[in-house]
A and B are shown apart, each in its own frame.
Chain A
Amino acid sequence: MFKKPEPKCEGCESPCFQDNLLLKAISAEVRERIYPHLKLTELPLGDVLYESGDVMESVYFPTNSIVSMLYVMEDGRSAEISVVGNEGIVGIALFMGGLSTPSRAIVQSAGQAYRLDSKHLKAEFSRHGELHHLLLRYTQALITQMAQTAACNRHHSIDQQLCRWLLLSMDRLKGDQLDMTQELIANMLGVRREGVTEAASKLQSAGIIQYQRGHIRVLDRPELERRCCECYAVVKKESDRLFEAFSYLPEGGSFHS
């Protein structure tokens, strides 16, 4: 059983830097330097932040949106490599020195993100301080997620993969609902739409989710976790570990400042 993440700082209703866990974990000193350059951006469903091969100009820290790293082959078939929400950053190529990514970054659940241009990100990153450390740690969690997703796609049933995908998505949102077409889910999982329809209706008739016109609501989360393969737990644990490691920080670690 997993505790649902609580990304919101207490008593705060309007969009806030603290809605992204990486931005929340940094100390006051670093915040002072980068907060003025963060721009709140609307990310509509299906919006493409980067196409594969694009040179990136900025990174995104999602707050209540989810961005999927999708690999699209020449023939148009695609599959998700990793997913980034309020626990992460989109655009690690910028600081890892890769310039461009091999995948497309596409908005999987509409919402907002803080955008930071490459100049300011690189300036802070090259100080080799706290943000440098935090982003590298995040990269490790991302590597774990990528590897697990690859093995999961190979060996687990669509039913299990759909559970994993729903749980990872719900963790990154503030509620138990998600707007998503079956077509898009099929593209993420790299399977045919019929496969997703079948898996979703199984979950629906078991009373675990409610699915109507692209709107998914999770009704029975414990059961969703029970039906899921181990891959969800592996990814979740790695991401939790990252923030545990940072919770000692005197400023940023006090998660309600």
Chain B
Amino acid sequence: MTATCKYPEVNQLIAELPTRERDELLDHCELIELTNGEVLSVRQVSYSHAWFPLTAFISVKAAVSEHPAMEIGMIGHEGMLGVTLLLAVDQAPHQAMITGPGKALRISRVELQELLLGCPELLLGLQHYCFQLMKQMTQTAICTHFHRVEERLARWLLMTHDRSQGDDLYLTHQLLANLLGVRRSAVTLASGVLKKSGLIGYSRGRIRILDRQGLEEAACECYYVLPS
């Protein structure tokens, strides 16, 4: 794809824009490197920027007190963080954190909002994506409520794999447990099952995808319902 030829990696949302809108948006973007665990937005606090991941990916989380925040959405090169800025609110509805370090393009909130005023195509594209993200939240909510940890872990690994470059993910069981909204022991148990079946390998905070097809069979239907 020549869409974002300025950069070797592509953000799908930007790539799908008409040329004029895309170039205009890219003119206002800067390329940055995001590190694991970096917090990009805090609930109720104004966004500084909006981010379009290239190789990085972001966990969008919801929290209730006394529990670590759990993941309700995942954003990678198919999307953006800060899409709710088009909803005429500066404050973030969620906290968001990097779970996959890598590159992203970012644009300041003010510049994006100015662009949106004169760019109906951009507004429309982001509106569609916003709705996609809401669908993803719906699916994640239902999955969290009903499905077994093992199925959910398999789905999560697949979604992550779709958004990352290689087959290795760097995450502790504790972080994974927080994101899935379960106890650490449940993640240890579930990943033990996946490991035993030869679907993944793990050691010291590194998870390696060994058998993608097998993981797809182990995942709940939620993975297929969601466009990735």
**Interface on A for B, CB 8 Å cutoff?**
71, 73-74, 77, 79, 81, 92-93, 96-98, 102-103, 128, 133, 136-137, 139-140, 142-144, 146-156, 190, 229-231
Contact = CB atoms under 8 A, between A and B. Distances in A.
Contacts of B100: none
Contacts of A148: 62, 64
Contacts of B89: 137, 140
A97 B127 contact: yes
B10 to A, nearest CB: 22
Q: Please provide the 4 A-B residue pairs with the shortest distance between their CB atoms, ordered closest to farther.
A: A150-B141, A147-B62, A96-B131, A98-B131
Contact of A137 (B88, B141, B225): B88
B87 interface: yes
Nearest to A126: B120
Contact of A98 (B65, B72, B135): B135
A128 B138 contact: no
Nearest to B137: A146
B67 interface: yes
B145 A102 contact: no
B64 A156 contact: yes
Given A151-B70, A154-B144, 5 more contacts: A92-B131, A96-B130, A143-B93, A153-B145, A154-B181
Contacts of A151: 62-64, 67, 69-70, 72, 181
Given A98-B128, A154-B70, A143 B144 contact: no
A155 B84 contact: no
A152 B225 CA distance: 23
Interface string B198-228: 0000000000000000000000010001000
B193 interface: no
Contact of A143 (B65, B67, B134, B146): B134
B139 interface: yes
13 contacts: A71-B138, A73-B146, A96-B131, A98-B128, A98-B135, A102-B138, A128-B123, A143-B87, A146-B134, A150-B145, A151-B70, A153-B145, A230-B64
Given A150-B144, A190-B146, A231 B130 contact: no
B39 interface: no
B62 A96 contact: no
Contact of B144 (A142, A153, A230): A153
B93 A147 contact: yes
Interface string B112-126: 000000001001100
A128 B84 CA distance: 16
Nearest to B89: A140
Contacts of A146: 72, 134, 137-138, 141
B108 to A, nearest CB: 20
Given A147-B94, A151-B70, A153-B144, A102 B64 contact: no
Given A140-B84, A153-B145, A229-B64, A81 B131 contact: no
B95 to A, nearest CB: 10
A144 B65 contact: no
B20 to A, nearest CB: 19
B225 A102 contact: yes
Interface string B84-114: 1011110001100000000000000000000
A152 B134 CA distance: 17
Contacts of B70: 150-151, 154-155
A139 B130 contact: yes
Nearest to B73: A147
B142 interface: yes
Most chain B CB within 10 A, of A128, A146, A150, A231, is at A150
A102 B139 contact: yes
Given A79-B146, A229-B64, A97 B124 contact: yes
A133 B88 contact: yes
A21 B61 CA distance: 29
B164 interface: no
Contacts of A74: 221
Given A98-B135, A137-B89, A81 B64 contact: no
A152 B64 contact: yes
Nearest to B128: A97
B59 interface: no
A74 B87 CA distance: 33
B67 to A, nearest CB: 5
A140 B120 contact: no
Contacts of A96: 127-128, 130-131, 134
A151 B72 CA distance: 8
